[in-house]
A = this chain, B = another copy of it.
Amino acid sequence: MSSTLTAMEADTSDAAELSLTDALVQLSFAVQAILGRAGADHDLSIIQGRLLGILRDREPTMAALARYLNLDKSSITGLVDRAERRGLVQRTADPSDGRSVRVAVTDKGRALIELTAAEVDREIALLVRDLSGPERHRLSALAGRIAPRL
């Protein structure tokens, strides 16, 4: 956490010369705050949004979801329960394995995540409003090259 969390809160908009760690931690909290607010506008927690995001182009088993989200299997049960209760996702039996359950997003869920994603895009644009076009591109390229270590 370093002086980060510290700096993170004080809006030192001046050139305080943050360390790499501080800058990244601060940035991550700003992005998470955006995800939280955008989701909240549609009653989606960050984790629920993440779930729907994954299901956009996948129909994974519960176990695969646990790996994607880095959560315990038992946490996935509850997560999918709540989403299913709201009609955002659906469980289906896996034809090839009687034990497995496949999770798919419903139309309602897809609409919701699409809407939320658009809002996130707008807010991110606002977040980086002080950067020039080329700077944004460089930031995107650098951030994109960071490999989430296993």
Option from B6, B18, B28, B56 in Cβ contact (under 8 Å) with A32: B28
Interface flag for A21 (CB, 8 Å): yes
Interface flag for A111 (CB, 8 Å): no
Once the chains bind, are B117 and A56 in contact (CB under 8 Å)? Answer: no
Once the chains bind, are A33 and B70 in contact (CB under 8 Å)? Answer: yes
Once the chains bind, are A138 and B144 in contact (CB under 8 Å)? Answer: no
Interface flag for A41 (CB, 8 Å): no
Option from B18, B23, B117, B137 in Cβ contact (under 8 Å) with A4: B117
Q: List residues of chain B with CB within 8 A of the CB of A1.
A: 35, 38-39, 49-50, 52-53, 113, 116-117, 120
Once the chains bind, are A146 and B27 in contact (CB under 8 Å)? Answer: yes
How would residues 19 to 37 of chain A score, 1 for a CB under 8 Å from any chain B CB and 0 otherwise? 1111111111111110100
CB distance from A132 to the nearest CB of B (A): 10
Once the chains bind, are B5 and A53 in contact (CB under 8 Å)? Answer: yes
Given A1-B120, A5-B49, A11-B148; A27-B30 close (CB under 8 Å): no
How would residues 36 to 69 of chain A score, 1 for a CB under 8 Å from any chain B CB and 0 otherwise? 0011000000000110111011100000000011
Please name the 10 residue pairs, one residue from A and one from B, whose CB atoms are nearest each other, closest first.
Answer: A5-B53, A28-B31, A23-B143, A28-B28, A9-B68, A2-B117, A18-B144, A23-B144, A20-B140, A30-B148
